[in-house]
Amino acid sequence: MSEEFTIRLLADGDWAAVVALEHDAYAADGLSEGEEALRSRGSSSPRTCFVLERDGVVHGYLLSLPYPPLRCPDLTRPEEEAFASENLHVHDLVIAEELRGKEVALGFMRHFQREAGAQGYRTISMVAVRGADILLRLLGYRAHREVAVPPCYGRRAVYMSTPVPGAPAH
């Protein structure tokens, strides 16, 4: 990833940009959650939510939270509890449209994987929507077709996971 980007923890002042990016990415597919649900996911694990910034402008974000393996949040309601888990679930990753296809997402995810390892997580999971499973396979994610993903994720959604690089196996 280019040196001109900074990855940092999501701050309270970033929510307007996060909500706008999320809406632009998902509203046309009926997958947009809205600010309340997004904030609930971010507030349940502030140390695992990040933004991608350049020149003081947020160009992407990643919301993640500890979540039981082989389960995923319901998009139709806010998070009501925080889980203790060695699995870190990437709830949402959005990169501004003009930066897609430029390896920015790969760099962002690699940074996130290192951070997950530094925080002691053993696995990372994610629900791939709209064909994102192709990118996730490049990062070593494996599909779990046995996991029933809620319909709110869309019909092609796939639950995927990967061990955190360098994490000791169980």
pLDDT digits (tens, 9 = 90+) for 32-50: 888 988 998 889 899 999 9
Contact, 6 vs 54, CB < 8 A? Answer: yes
pLDDT digits (tens, 9 = 90+) for 68-88: 999 998 888 888 888 999 999
pTM for this prediction: 0.90
Domain with residues 6-163, CATH architecture: 3-Layer(aba) Sandwich (3.40)
- Residue 168's pLDDT is 65
Q: Residue type at 5?
A: F
Any idea where the domains of the chain sit in the sequence? 6-163
DSSP 62-77: EEEEE--TT----TTS
How many Å is the maximal CA-CA distance in the chain?
43
Residue 5: closest CA among 96, 135, 115, 118: 96
For residues 104 and 96, give the distance between their C-alpha atoms in angstroms, rounded to a whole number: 10
Dihedral over alpha carbons 76, 69, 135, 49 (to 10 degrees): 70
For residues 41 and 34, give the distance between their C-alpha atoms in angstroms, rounded to a whole number: 11
